[in-house]
Chain A
């Protein structure tokens, strides 16, 4: 469904993504890993249309993504979470989730203000999706808390929840497990694994945590200096010398093996 072909993105004097090919198939979980600065977030930002690549194509369900402005991306079914959550900090968790449903239907202003049927129907749908996301991500207890007051880990979950409420076909997650405790990570990995069944969405996951990545992924892509250095099923990743080299070269210590414990 998602297809990047020969995509390159450079910033002034620096190539962040270099001729990358990438595919995510319907209902699968694909992970993008690589050392810091490898270009992973840049790939997500390209898909979100924050950046436009200098060369290459980005297609989603046969549609040329590069023709869309960023705020239309969610309408065609791509939602995302951010490396550092960009919540509406003064709004409650529930309201944050409800904003995720903003694009799902467009009752007119009059309908909204007078709460006419179409507006009510939208609100009902949004509430259902939000309630489901709260349950799915175990956020029921903080439903009415102000988002900005929550601990970091919870904020990351709300960010993911908001993306799920948007009813995506493809969910982009940028380091969702970063900053979480081990037990929480395992639980999150479990939840991510269930996204395709529960929400009917494929996942493009960026994360540093090998344990999480190897457990949830159908396909793993390893990037370094903007290029793909390996692609394959999770079972093969840790045996690849170039992957090891990339990690050892930048992050002292055999992360790949350690993380497997």
Chain B
């Protein structure tokens, strides 16, 4: 529903073209072998003129906002294509709406392999959906670059075909925790965390930073009324609250704190750092600290930010150059860098080999390095502060 119909038909054309290309490739292979020369097995998704990537992201339902990351992937692919593509091939993206439902993600991932014959996947969104997607991709040895999650079950287990781009939630939680304790010198810290891998991994990081929460409350992501939670932090006298939540609940919680005139120092996850929506929360949102790996998109002096901001209107006109798009852009940067590093025929094995030796790759979201035994994502995070509806660097850092 969320995906526009033009994208849908483009997708169908893509798959049709892909099918025709694959079919012709097979014919050629037979003809070749008749001629006596050996030929490599055909790699799915790699045709003579195109390389096809796939992804599942929510474009409708409660997490639909994250679907904006597709715009960033698309934009970076088109930017790459405009600059000659990879080995003379253009990059294509088949993006399917999984509504943030892991069962749907699994089904769609099978479709991506069987019907769309994608070469690899990039920028799959969400912890639980990614876990589902991996159950299909890992046995088939299909590379996945940049799942949009920092959850421990995904980041802490090495998988040959999985390349993380996001910092882990533990890293992020540690940053928030140590910043609250050591830089802001908060005495009584409250923690609100989502009752799933996302919230728990972040909270683990906060605890790793040596923070003992005065009050820690978990919540269900579908919850709307946060009055009771706000009241609990307030009556416990917390001077700071770390909010480990997705955007909707974050906004509701901020509004609930405002309703009881409670203004602690607020630290929150970058997952909720959506400048367009600051105005949806009352005047309490500005001044919140956010742990980030994507730099503030106002820093046009940063060449990575500038390239992103210049490319979005050019390659994805009319689509928001949001922090979510910046996620997708960053992940696409890694995926493309890996492709470009391949010498010789493009296969899944050669792709993984190339990715395994990426070092010091500079992306919009920071530096990425892989080794054959470590596929960890971006390590460096920093604090930004919400100000006048935008994210800005923390003064004096």
Tell me, yes or no, whether A and B come into direct contact in the complex with CB atoms closer than 8 A: no
Task: State the A residues within 8 Å of B (CB).
Answer: none
